[in-house]
Structure 1
Amino acid sequence: MATISQPPAQGSSPASARRRVTQPAGPAKTAYQPQRATSFAIIEQAQKGVPTQQVDQLAELLGISFKEMAIVLQVAERTLHRFRSEGQLDQQTSERLLLLENLTAHGLLVFDGRAEALADWLRYPLRELKGQAPLQWLNTISGFSLVDDVLTRIEYGVYS
C-alpha cells in the first residue's frame, strides 16, 4: 500500500523526507468490489434500476470496451449512452449487469481476487464452451449460466 509523504519535520533534511515516500501520491480511488447476490436480490435490484456508474466500474475492472459491454447488456451503444445521461439502467439491462456482476464476483473468488487474470480468462477460448471465449457466451442469460458453471468446475478442480 502506498504511503503519503508528510512534510519534513523541523530539523530534518529534504533527502530524509524523500526516503519516506514509497509511491507518488495520486487521487484517492476507491476499489470497486462486486458482490455475489441471490436471485431474489438481483430481481429486487433490477426492478429498482442500477446506477450507470456500475457499468463503467465493471467494464474497467474486466477490461471490457464500451462496445463489448453493450453487447453483453444486449442494448445498442446509443441506448447505453442515453442511460448514462439518465443515470440509471432500465430493468432488463439492470438484470444483465447484475448477472455480470455476480459472475465477476465468482470469477474473482476463483482467481484469488486477480481481476486481470479473470479478464484474460474471459477472452480465452475454452474447449468446454465449444472453443469460444466465455465473453462470447455472455450475450444470453443461458450463457451466463454456462460460464458460471465453468467457473464452478475450476473452483472445485473438476476439469473436462
Structure 2
Amino acid sequence: MATASARTTRRPGPPSTLEVVTYQPRQVSGLAIIEQARQGVTTQQVDQLTKLLQVSFKEMAALLQLAERTLHRFRSEGQLDQQASERLLLLENLTAHGLLVFDGRSDALADWLRYPLRELGKQPPLALLATISGFGLVDDVLTRIEYGVYS
C-alpha cells in the first residue's frame, strides 16, 4: 500500500522524451499509517517530500525527530525505522491535505508552512511539526481554511 502515486506523461516530440515523474502524496487512514510504519518507508519518499515542501535536509531530519547523521545512515540503508516512518507518513498526510487546500500548488503550501500564524501562537506551522500534537493543530488550521472558517 503506497502513500504516494507517481505519474509519467509524454511530451510532444520524440517518443523517448518523458516528463519528470511528479510526486503526489495521498491521504491515508490512521490504520494504514500504522501498517506502513511497521513495514518501514523508503528513503526515496523522504527525498521526494523534502523537495516538494522545499525544506532542507536538516529541516527534514528535525521533522522526523532524527539527527542528520542518522537520516544519512537510513538513506544508505534505503529505509526508515518505524518511528521515523510514522512521522514521514503523518507529514505526507498533512502535505496531501495542504495540496488539496492550496489547489495543488506546492509552492503556496511551502510558503504557508513557514508563515507565522496567529492561530498557532504566532508560530509557523513547520515549527509545530516537531511534535505529534502539532500535526493535529496544523491539520485543523488547514481544515478551517478549506471550509472558509477564519479565526
- Whether the TM-score (by the shorter chain) exceeds 0.5 is yes
- Any idea what SS the aligned residue of 2:25 has? coil
Larger relative strand fraction: 2
Compute the TM-score of the two structures, normalised by the length of structure 2: 0.90
Q: Whose radius of gyration is greater, 1 or 2? A: 1
| Long gaps (5+) in structure 2 | 1-8
The number of equivalent residue pairs is 143
Alpha-carbon deviations, 1:108-150, whole Å to 9, x = none?
A: 0000101100000000000000001000000000000000000
Partner residue, 2:3: none
Helix, strand or coil: the match of 1:33?
strand
Structure-2 separation of matches of 1:83 and 1:32: 21
4+ long deviations beyond 2 Å: 1-6, 25-28
Cα distance in structure 1, aligned partners of 2:121 and 2:150: 15
- Identical residues among aligned pairs (%): 73
1:89 aligns with 2:89: no
TM-score (norm 1): 0.85
Q: Give the counterpart of 1:5 among 8, 13, 17.
A: 13
Q: CA deviation at 1:29?
A: 1.4
**Cα RMSD (Å) of the superposition?**
1.7
Show the 5 A alignment for 1:10-159: 28-159=19-150
Q: Which amino acid aligns with 1:85?
A: S
Structure 1 gaps, min length 5: 7-24
2:4 aligns to what?
A: none
Distance of 1:133 and 1:2 partners within structure 2: 38
